[in-house]
């Protein structure tokens, strides 16, 4: 019998965060049991859901910044699963939640989530019915999320597929395309480097995580964070990451893609 790996962590804020808090795009879906003050979650389209204490919400993969808002202390349980396991568990519904947040009671498979939430244990979850991820798509996901410079053309050549076929089958599982996953992999890697607090020139950060050059990095940071790289560092510092100043760059306008 196949199994799905689910882990969890308890979290609690130390102070009341007023205003909207930014949630950066991620390659991991979000599944949270709220145990604190009421929380409002805004998706990339500006639509919102209200999550009260005891409710669970799920947010699929998203490729633009989202926001949360609350006027009280936050605490809860964050259940962690990979994007692959989200599809194995929920099937096509996982992809349909791309760029959306939904309450547990509105989500297919709610009973299976609740059984984990109620036990508050990280575990391997056996399922009598599992949605299989095609092995080719699982391989593509692994290639894209472990290498900063993986080319889509190389993947299609290895599979003997057209680019259109790859994109369609990939989107059916994850809700976003392989090119977006490759870009988010670089963005995640950049944020991880900034969190280390090492003083490095921006161009070195860019090249080390697979960007062609500094302007390439600036465009992606603007797209995914809605901020300039300098503003991204400032916000991460406010969130208590030990970041030192990187080389100062002049602000550049963002024209989109």
Q: Write down the mean pLDDT value for the chain.
A: 81
Q: What is the DSSP letter of 134?
A: P
**Residue 98 · residue 170 · CB < 8 Å:** no
Would you put residue 105 in left (φ > 0), alpha (ψ -120 to 50) or beta? alpha
User: Is residue 73 scored above 50 in pLDDT?
Assistant: yes
Residue in this structure with the two tokens 């992606």, named with its chain if needed: 220
The yes/no answer on whether domain 3-126 falls in CATH 2.60.120.10 is: yes
79 pLDDT tier (thresholds 50, 70, 90): confident
Q: What is the DSSP letter of 44?
A: T
Q: Which long-range contacts (CB under 8 A, 24 or more apart) does 104-108 make?
A: 104/55, 104/56, 104/57, 104/58, 107/58
The more confident residue out of 240 and 192 is: 192
**Beta-bridge partners for 26:** 62
User: Is residue 13 scored above 70 in pLDDT?
Assistant: yes
210 pLDDT tier (thresholds 50, 70, 90): confident
pLDDT digits (tens, 9 = 90+) for 118-157: 554 444 444 556 788 999 999 999 999 998 888 999 999 9
Q: How far apart are CA 83 and CA 30, in angstroms?
A: 10
């Amino acid at each position: 019998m196949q199994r799905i790996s689910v882990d969890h962590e308890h979290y609690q804020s130390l102070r009341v965060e007023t205003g909207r808090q930014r949630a950066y795009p991620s390659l991991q879906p979000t599944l949270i049991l709220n145990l604190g003050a009421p929380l409002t979650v805004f998706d990339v389209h500006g639509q919102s859901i209200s999550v009260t204490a005891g409710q669970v919400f799920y947010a699929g993969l998203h490729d633009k910044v989202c926001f949360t808002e609350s006027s009280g202390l936050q605490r809860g349980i964050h259940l962690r699963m990979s994007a692959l396991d989200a599809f194995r568990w929920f099937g096509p519904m996982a992809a349909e939640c791309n760029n959306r947040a939904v309450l547990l009671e509105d989500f297919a498979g709610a009973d299976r989530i609740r059984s984990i939430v109620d036990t508050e244990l990280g575990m391997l979850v056996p399922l009598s019915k599992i949605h299989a991820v095609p092995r080719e798509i699982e391989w593509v996901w692994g290639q894209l999320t472990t290498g900063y410079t993986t080319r889509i053309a190389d993947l299609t050549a290895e599979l003997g597929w057209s680019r259109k076929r790859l994109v369609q089958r990939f989107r059916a599982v994850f809700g976003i395309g392989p090119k977006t996953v490759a870009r988010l992999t670089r963005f995640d890697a950049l944020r991880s480097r900034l969190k280390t607090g090492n003083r490095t020139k921006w161009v070195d950060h860019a090249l080390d995580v697979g960007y062609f050059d500094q302007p390439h990095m600036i465009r992606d940071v603007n797209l995914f964070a809605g901020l300039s790289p300098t503003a991204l560092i400032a916000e991460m510092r406010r969130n208590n990451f030990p970041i030192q100043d990187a080389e100062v760059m002049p602000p550049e306008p963002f024209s989109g893609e």
